[in-house]
Chains A and B, each alone.
Chain A
C-alpha cells in the first residue's frame, strides 16, 4: 500500500463505508471495528479491482460483503453470549446523530434483514436498480418489488 492509499483511495469514499457500517453495528466500538475491517479489505483486495465498475461501486460491494461476513463471524463468536439472546429491537445504539429522524431511520434499518439493509442503503444512496442488482448479486426485476416492500416495512417501524 502506498502511503497515500488511504488518503486518496479510501478517505474520499469514507462516507459510503460509514453509512454502510453504521447500518450493521449497534455500538461505536463495533462501528470502528467494521470500518477498519472494510479499509483493511479494500487494501488487501485492491489488486482485484478490474475497473469493470466505478471504484465507488466496488467500495459499496466490498463494504457490504465485509459487513455481512463480519456480522456472521461475530454472531458465531457470540453464540453462547447472553446478549445474543436479546432481540435486535432491544439493542440500543450507543451513538447518536445530531438529526433525530436519521437516528430513528437507522434504528429502523437495523431491524431489517441483513440483505434488506444493503438494498435500502443502496437505494437511499440513489443507486440504479441495475447497480443495486449488480452489487447485491440479484435480478433487477426483484429489486423494485423488494424496495417497495422494505420501504413499507420501514414506514411501519417508524410509525410505531
Chain B
C-alpha cells in the first residue's frame, strides 16, 4: 500500500541520521565579521555626520550671528574627522586572514586605542566647545552693540565694587575658568560616555563574543 506523506515524514526521520546538525566551525567567523562590519558602518556614518556638521555650521552660524562660534567649531569637526579617518585607515589594515579570535582581539585592541585617544582628546575638546560657544554668544551683535559688552556693562553696574582683570569682572572669570576646568577634568569620562552611547551595543557584543571564545579556548 502506498504510504501517506505523513508516514513517509515520520518514518524517514526515525530511520536515518538526517537530523545531525552541521558543525558550526564558521559561526564565530560570521559573527566576528558581522560585528566588525556593523561597527565600520556606524563609524563611517558618524564621520559623515561630523563632516556634514562642519559644512553646515559655518553658514548656520553666519545666519544666526554666531560666526565666532561657527568657525572654531568647523575647525574642531574637521580635526575630529581627520583623527577618525586615521583610525578608520588603521581598522582596514586588520588582517582578516587570521582566526576569528585573533581578528576580534585585534579589533578589540583597535577599539581600546581609539577610546584612549578619544578620551585624551576629549580633555581638550569639551573645554574648546565651551570656549567656542562662549565666543559665539559673546560676539552676537544686537542693535549695533556686542552682547558680551552689554553683559559686562550690566554686570559692572550691578556689582560696581567687583575687581576687573583686563576689563573682565573677576566674578565672571572665576566661574568661567571653573567650568573649563571641570570640563577638562571630566572630558575623558564624557568622551567615553559619548562613545558608549553610540557604539555601546556593538562593544558589549564584542566583549561577550570575546569572552565566549576565550572560554572555548580554555
A-to-B contact residues, CB < 8 Å:
1-3, 6, 11, 14-15, 17-19, 22, 31-32, 35-36, 39-40, 43-44, 97-99, 101-102, 104-105, 120, 124, 151, 154-155, 158
The prevalent SS among residues of A at the interface is: helix
| B interface residue count range (under 10 / 10 to 19 / 20 to 34 / 35 or more) | 20 to 34
Bound complex: CA A122 to CA B19 (Å):
16
Q: Which residues of B contact A124 (CB under 8 A)?
A: 5-6, 9
Q: Which residues of B contact A99 (CB under 8 A)?
A: 8, 11-12, 15-16, 18
- Interface contact A101-B31, CB-CB below 8 Å: no
B-to-A contact residues, CB < 8 Å:
3, 5-6, 8-9, 11-13, 15-22, 24, 26-27, 30-31, 34, 208-209, 212, 215-216
- Interface contact B24-A36, CB-CB below 8 Å: yes
Q: Which residues of A contact B9 (CB under 8 A)?
A: 102, 105, 124
Bound complex: CA A83 to CA B212 (Å):
40
Bound complex: CA A66 to CA B176 (Å):
57
- Interface contact A40-B21, CB-CB below 8 Å: no
Known contacts A3-B215, A40-B27, A101 near B8 by CB under 8 Å:
yes
- Interface contact A102-B16, CB-CB below 8 Å: yes
Sample of 16 more A-B contacts, CB < 8 Å, known A3-B216, A35-B21, A97-B18: A1-B212, A2-B208, A6-B24, A11-B21, A15-B13, A18-B18, A31-B22, A36-B24, A39-B27, A40-B30, A97-B16, A102-B11, A102-B13, A102-B16, A120-B5, A155-B5
Q: Which residues of B contact A22 (CB under 8 A)?
A: 18
Known contacts A1-B209, A105-B12, A98 near B18 by CB under 8 Å:
yes
16 pairs of residues in contact across A and B, judged by CB atoms under 8 Å: A1-B209, A3-B212, A3-B215, A11-B21, A17-B21, A35-B21, A36-B26, A36-B27, A36-B30, A40-B34, A43-B31, A97-B12, A101-B12, A102-B13, A120-B5, A155-B5
